[in-house]
Amino acid sequence: MNTAKTTLLLIGLTLLLIFIGQLVAGMAGAIFAFFLALIMNMVSYWWSDKIVLRMYRAKEITPRDNPKLHQIVENLALAAGIPKPKVWLIPLSTPNAFATGRNPAHASVAVTQGLLNTLSMEEIEGVLSHEIAHIKDRDILISTIAATLAGAIMTIAYWARWAFFLGGSDEEGGGNVIGLLAISILAPLAALLIQLAISRTREYEADRQGAVLSGKPLYLASALEKIEMWTRRRPFPGGSPSTAHLFIVNPFRGDWVVRLFSTHPPTQERTRRLKAMAHLL
């Protein structure tokens, strides 16, 4: 169900991209928009993991550095049927974690120092099971594609606004000009909403699969509650909000508008679902 929903949403993003490209510059615009998205996807696919790990000053840790953490990762990867990902440590005191990498064979999981200091080993296993589920389902690639398609739509919408201003005095083409203005405003909003729907769908699915992998939905629920509490008190310093979708809980503070357009579903709803799962496992 979640896979079908994600597929339909990605198709919707692609069609929206081609539609707005065609509206701005005809078939040539649609073709250009398609290849723009393709190039952006390829760049993100190959280098996004290196960029984000460097952004947060992550350091790779070996089994000798933290044997318990590596054992958890190895056991979960074995249960998921994927190669063991690399393990990285982020020198931040707020608990959080993310997975990155272009495919299961080139994946990494990163945890903050705060996660290791704050959570129990069972809760850490719950968090890592969520991240391993992301890797298994190639969610990093899916979210990257969604983000780059949405970015391409926003770029073309920006061009559409310029087309409006440059053609605003053309009375004969008034209808087309007004259409350009409307699409330049509505298309980015539609793209953002679709991207958020994809991200939230994948978060719920990673919670579900992670709970199955570890067999400990209550510990994952407890970990989410603790991470949420710490994030409200001590959000990430620096960093880029554009990376928020990678983390298990959005690590950046925001007002109600930011929360409304968050890449993550409400933590309260996530924990409710996990607690309901505990009776079924």
How far is Cα 33 from Cα 31, in angstroms, rounded to an integer? 5
Annotated catalytic residue 205: no
Q: What spatial distance separates the first Cα and last Cα of the chain, rounded to whole Å?
A: 20
Separation between Cα atoms, residue 270 and residue 173, nearest integer Å: 50
Strand order in the sheet with 86-90: 59-60, 86-90, 107-112, 97-101
Residue 183, CA atoms < 13 Å, CB-side half-sphere: 24
Out of 60, 74, 123, 131, which one is annotated catalytic? 131
Matching residue, tokens 């054992």? 71
Q: How many residues does the chain have?
A: 281
- Across 223-251, b (16+ Cβ under 10 Å) vs e yields bbbbbbebbeeeebeebeeebbbbbbbbb
CA atoms within 13 A on the CB side of 175: 1
Q: What letter would DSSP give residue 251?
A: -
- Nearest Cα residue to 49 out of 102, 103, 113: 102
- Round to whole Å and give the CA distance between 98 and 88: 10
Backbone angles phi, psi at 107, to 5 degrees: -110, 160
Angle at 39 between CA 33 and CA 40, to 5 degrees: 90
Catalytic residue ranges: 131
